[in-house]
Amino acid sequence: MEPAVGAGPSISTVRTQRLADGISTAEISKLGDQHYRAKIVARGSVLATLETKGHDDGLDANGSYIVLSSGGVISAHA
């Protein structure tokens, strides 16, 4: 028997937020309780992806620090 097509979890885009560099945006999606994903996008290209699942996730992108909290809040500092 084959698995059902499209039987995965529902993903909804919560919001898009401009980041501190003025060029990049974070496209934040809710995947579940305390489970979020943020795609960091600049000029049409995905530069990085952050994902939380009960914990925060962050990165240092050449001196621009980006953190996604387990509550779906993003903070960025250049």
- Ranges of beta strands (E only) in 1-78 are 12-18, 25-32, 35-42, 45-51, 57-61, 64-68, 74-77
Residues 6 or more apart from 55 whose CB is under 8 A from it? 70
Give the pLDDT score at 9.
62
Q: What is the pLDDT of residue 7?
A: 53
Q: Distances in Å between the alpha carbon of 26 and those of 3, 49, 53, 75? A: 33, 9, 17, 10
The pLDDT of residue 11: 78
Predicted local distance difference test score (pLDDT) of residue 63? 84
pLDDT at residue number 3: 45
For the chain, which ranges sit under pLDDT 50? 1-4
The residue assigned the tokens 């994903």 is 37
